């Protein structure tokens, strides 16, 4: 979940452009506050102050802090789109699987992404509706990966005694774990991923 990227859409009026810029600024401020202070400890006043906007201006864009988080979840879904498209490629399953591991690792390589994910996960334990915002993204990713694994089983590339759904979820967990460990230990993500890939392929390849 990276800080919102600047986008330009046309045609837009000057007022629309200014409103979009303020919204983007608020989102950037929210992510910064969540990273520095935690979601639970951050209030809308903190976000407004960091963004340099009035509280009323913030409420014009987001009725509350939960709505800010919902927008961040939507941004995460947009960032996952290239990975989902990669999983839909009509290439041999092992090749698609390998490319997924690399692209998902790149997505998770940012320390900010890892910290924010941990922060939101801990808050989701207190408020399940928060978890649901991001769980939908994870489930979509798992379903796309499951399809690749099922194709690999059908083609004889992967073991036929696998539960594709559980394998997909476990693989995502493995890559997530590599990202957490990389941030905590400062071991390069690529080193951890190489070990993870060897482990995963040894577990699922037919052979």
Residue 124 clears pLDDT 80, i.e. is over it: no
Q: Among the ranges 102-106, 132-136, 148-152, 200-204, which has the highest mean pLDDT value? A: 148-152
pLDDT at 207: 67
pLDDT at 82: 95
DSSP 87-147: HT-SS-HHHHHHHHHHHHHHHH--HHHHHHHHHHHHHHHH-HHHHHHHHHHHHHHHHHHHH
Q: Is the pTM above the cut of 0.75?
A: yes
**Furthest-apart CA pair in the chain: how many Å?**
63
Which three-class secondary structure state does DSSP give residue 21? helix
Both ends of the chain: CA-CA distance in Å?
A: 37
pLDDT at 94: 94
The pLDDT > 70 percentage for the chain reads: 94
Q: pLDDT-derived band of residue 111, with 50, 70 and 90 as boundaries? A: confident
The hierarchical CATH code for the domain 14-204 is: 1.10.357.10
pLDDT digits (tens, 9 = 90+) for 129-164: 778 888 888 999 999 999 999 999 999 999 999 999
Residues across the chain: 207
Angle between helix 65-87 and helix 93-108 axes, rounded to 10 deg: 150
Give, in degrees to the nearest 5, the angle at Cα 109 between 159 and 5.
Answer: 120
Q: Pick the closest to residue 34 from 65, 80, 74 (CA basis).
A: 65
- What lies within 8 Å, CB to CB, of 206 at 6+ separation is 156, 157, 158, 159, 160
pLDDT at 95: 95
pLDDT digits (tens, 9 = 90+) for 24-76: 999 999 999 988 988 888 999 999 999 999 999 999 999 988 888 888 888 88
Across the range 169-198, mean pLDDT stands at: 86
- What lies within 8 Å, CB to CB, of 109 at 6+ separation is 179, 182, 189
Which long-range contacts does 80-83 make (Cβ < 8 Å, 24+ apart)?
A: 80/107, 80/137, 80/140, 80/141, 83/107, 83/141
Residue 16 clears pLDDT 70, i.e. is over it: yes
Residue 108 clears pLDDT 60, i.e. is over it: yes
Distance, CA of 191 to CA of 37 (rounded, Å): 30
- What lies within 8 Å, CB to CB, of 103 at 6+ separation is 82, 83, 86
């Amino acid at each position: 979940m990276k800080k919102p990227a600047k986008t330009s859409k046309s045609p837009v009026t000057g007022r629309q452009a200014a409103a979009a810029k303020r919204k983007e600024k608020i989102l950037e401020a929210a992510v910064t506050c969540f990273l520095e202070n935690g979601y639970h400890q951050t209030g809308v006043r903190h976000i407004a102050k960091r963004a340099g906007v009035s509280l009323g201006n913030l409420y014009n864009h987001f009725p509350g802090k939960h709505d800010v988080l919902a927008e961040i979840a939507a941004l995460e879904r947009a960032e996952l789109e290239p990975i989902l498209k990669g999983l839909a490629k009509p290439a041999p399953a092992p090749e698609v699987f390998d490319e997924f591991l690399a692209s998902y690792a790149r997505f998770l390589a940012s320390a900010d992404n890892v910290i924010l994910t941990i922060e939101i996960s801990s808050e989701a334990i207190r408020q399940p509706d928060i978890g649901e915002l991001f769980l939908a993204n994870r489930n979509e990713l798992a379903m796309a990966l499951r399809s690749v694994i099922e194709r690999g089983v059908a083609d004889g590339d992967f073991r036929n005694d696998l539960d594709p759904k559980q394998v997909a979820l476990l693989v995502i967990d493995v890559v997530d774990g590599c990202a957490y460990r990389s941030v905590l230990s400062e071991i390069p993500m690529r080193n951890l991923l190489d070990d993870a890939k060897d482990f995963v392929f040894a577990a699922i390849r037919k052979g």
